[in-house]
Amino acid sequence: MKIHNFLCDLLVSTKLLFDNYLFQDEPGLIKSYQFNIGNRSFQLGREPFSNYELPAIISAINDETINFNGRRTDLIMRNQLENTNKIPVLYNETRDVGVFVHEEQTFVSFTIAINCESQLHAKELAYTIKRSLPLNKHLNILNFTTFLELTPDFLFNKLQFDIIQDTIYNLYTKLNYNTGKPEYCFSLNHNPLIRLDSITSAVQDSSTSTFQVLLDLTYVIPFPQFLIVDKYYEIQTINFSFNVEHNSPVLVPFTKHYIGLKPNYKIDRTLLLTEESTRFPDSVIISKTPTQAFLSIKFELNDFVIQSDYKYRFSKIFGDLRDPIIQEPTYYYQEENRVVFIFDIETYNQRLKPELTQPLFIDFYHDDF
């Protein structure tokens, strides 16, 4: 089973490390991020012009080393030994089927450069980092969530899941911005140990236009290796794609809560959006005017049927809280299996605009279920 490039998730998680932990007292301090993996790179910034503002961070992965703790994973599987490295990620309550991920501890090293406007600013940022991350000490301060894909063949043919009739926990859909089609995924929380190996902010000569803080970081983090279904004696190998375009959401974990005062609803689908797009009119399209934002969502009938009595919850995650908006569709096209929502542009920009580290969650649910 092939998923997106998980190393890109780790790169993006460094944005959460700086924004939400190291520089949490100065929101918006870092104007843009560039992530390098191999000979490819991708950028994140609040606005297109932010790529030219400072301070800016350039983050690169150097290498990763898997530590099997003296036992090869494939031997554990073949000899039916007790597996202590698996965690539950999906559970079908209707069929009493659980899906587990087998993980192996991995050491991942990063080189990070922070470009600053002045030497004093570079010294200030370096001091702030060293105050929170002592040299050569493993700290457990970062907590983030990623979303890993499931193939339809595995979900429907091998597990025989019925996503409409069955009650399935931790199953999401997200839009694949390479194909324009929704794909199934599950969320996985990570809590790595972080070690600061070195940090420098050497004085530059007077002709230098930018000043750098250079640091080396190491994550100690479990890598997903296999999907395991004990009930069906099923083992699926997890392989990473080399494609670094349009990455999976990476966000700070949030506290789940009910829409009402009690669990009196059933969510049939949760869709995750990570960017504004006008490229896929046959699935999800977002367009804007100076006063309004239009969101159109369409599914193939053999995948998911939008019912007329659905209710919709839109939410983003700020810190550990969700900020929900319950919205009725402005238009419902039953024959096209499409719904269209219109939002005030200020509400959309402040509470609904999708981003890679702050995706937009859209719940399709029945009330009083």
Structural domain containing residue 348: 265-367
- Name the token pair of 341: 């929502």
User: In which residue are the tokens 């983003």 written?
Assistant: 316
- Residue 215 domain-assigned (yes or no): yes
- Name the token pair of 214: 């250079």
Same domain assignment for residues 246 and 273 = no
Same domain assignment for residues 181 and 80 = yes
Q: Which of 200, 227, 251 is the last residue of a domain?
A: 251
Q: Name the residue among 357, 366, 269 with its Cα closest to residue 317.
A: 357
Backbone Cα Rg of the chain: 22
What's 300's domain CATH number?
Answer: 2.40.30.10
- Residue 92 domain-assigned (yes or no): yes
Same domain assignment for residues 222 and 278 = no
Same domain assignment for residues 53 and 93 = yes
What is the phi/psi pair of residue 349, to 5°? -65, -35
- Residue 279 domain-assigned (yes or no): yes
Higher pLDDT, 177 or 194: 194
Is 12:44 a contact under the CB 8 Å cutoff? Answer: yes
What is the rounded end-to-end Cα distance, in angstroms, of the chain?
A: 35
Total H helices, total E strands in the chain:
5, 24
Same domain assignment for residues 27 and 112 = yes
pLDDT at 283 (0 to 100): 86
pLDDT at 255 (0 to 100): 56
- Note the Cα 89 to chain centre separation in Å: 15
**159: which DSSP letter?**
S
Q: Tell me the pLDDT tens digit for each residue of 142-157.
A: 999 999 999 989 999 9
pLDDT at 264 (0 to 100): 61
Q: For the whole model, what pTM was predicted?
A: 0.85
Q: Which of 251, 283, 309 is the last residue of a domain?
A: 251
Read off the pLDDT band of 74 (50, 70, 90).
low
- Residue 260 domain-assigned (yes or no): no
Chain-wide mean pLDDT for the chain? 85
Q: Name the residue among 219, 182, 210 with its Cα closest to residue 298.
A: 182
Q: How far is CA 51 from CA 81, 104, 111, 129, 283, in A?
A: 51, 36, 19, 22, 30
SS3 assignment for 243-287: CCCCCCCEECCCCCCCCCCCCCEEEEEEEEECCCCCCCCCCEEEE
Q: Tell me the pLDDT tens digit for each residue of 92-108.
A: 999 999 999 988 889 99
- Residue 97 domain-assigned (yes or no): yes
Same domain assignment for residues 61 and 8 = yes
**How many Cα atoms are found within 13 Å in the side-chain-facing hemisphere of 14?**
33
- Considering its fold, how many domains does the chain have in total? 2
CA distance 149 to 155: 10
- Residue 303 domain-assigned (yes or no): yes
pLDDT at 197 (0 to 100): 96
236, β-bridge pairs: 227
Report the greatest alpha carbon distance in the chain: 69
pLDDT at 318 (0 to 100): 76
Higher pLDDT, 329 or 234: 329
- Residue 301 domain-assigned (yes or no): yes
Q: Name the residue among 31, 34, 33, 35 with its Cα closest to residue 53.
A: 31
